[in-house]
Structure 1
Amino acid sequence: MKKERRLRRGLDDQLCFALYAASRAVTQRYRPLLENLGLTYPQYLVLLVLWEHDTVPVKDIGAALQLDYGTLTPLVKRLETAGFVRRERDPDDERTVRVSLTDRGVDLRERAREVPAAMGAAMALPENDFAEAKRILRQLTVNVSGQP
C-alpha cells in the first residue's frame, strides 16, 4: 500500500501524466456520443473542420488537426466510404485534393449538435475555468511544438 502511494505520488507530480490521463478520459467520454453517429473521435475532428469551412484541401485539414498525410488519408477515406465526404482533385492544381461534405455529411452536423453540450456538461468546469484551460493548453502546445 505504501509503495503504491509512493508510485502514485510520483506520477501525480508529472504534468505529462495529468495531460495523458485527462486526454484519455475526455476521449473515452466522447466514444459513446460518437458511436451513436457512426464516428471515431479523429473522424469527428475532421468533420468539425469541414462543418466550419465546407470544402478544404487535405493539406489544410492536416495542418488544422496537426495530423500528417499518412494518418489523415485513411480517416478521410473511411469518411468517404461512409458517405459523409467526397474527395476531388482541384481542377486548378491536380496535386491538391479537396475534401467536401456530402448531403449526408451536412445532415450529420445536425445530429452532432448535442456533442459539445454533452461534453461540456461532463467536464463540469465553470466557464472561466474552461476558457483558461483552453488558453493554457494552447500555449503549452505552442511552447512545446515551437509552432504558433
Structure 2
Amino acid sequence: MVPERIFHIATAADWRAALETGTYTTSTVGRTLAQEGFIHASRRDQVQGVFDRYYRGLGEDLVLLTIDPARLESEVRVEPVGDDTYPHVHGPINRSAVVDVTPLNRKGGAETLMSLWMKGMAVRMGAAVLVMLLVAAVVLAAQRLA
C-alpha cells in the first residue's frame, strides 16, 4: 500500500532545475531516472537512514521533498529492498505533486528559519570583517607611503 506521503532527498541544485522544467528526474545521488528506471523515495520513518547511508558528508545543500502520491502523474510502487519495502516512483515527479520542500542540515534534520538566518548572518559578518581588514591594510600602506 502506498503511504499518504512519500519523501525524497534531493540536492538543492537538482530541485532548482526541476522548478525550471516542471519535472524532477534525479533517482538518487549521481543517478538519473533514465539510468535507474525509477526515482527512489521513502516513508518518513526511513528518511534518516537513507540520509545516513547515502547523503551524509555529500557537501551539497540538500532538501527533503514531501510528495503527495495522489498528485503524481507517474506510478508509485512499494517494492522490497532487503528486509524492508520502499516506494519507488516509476517516472518523473511533476512539480505539483511536491507539497513541501524542507532544507536539511548536515545531520539530516530540518533546517529552521532561524538557523538559516544565522548561517547567512555569519557569512555576511565574516565578509564584513574581511572588508574592514582589507581597508585597514590599504590605509596603513597609504600612510607609510606618504
* TM-score between the two structures when normalised by the length of structure 2: 0.21
Q: Which has the higher contact order (CA 8 A, sep 6+)?
A: 2
| Structure number with larger C-alpha Rg | 2
> Counting helix residues as a fraction of each chain, which structure ranks higher?
1
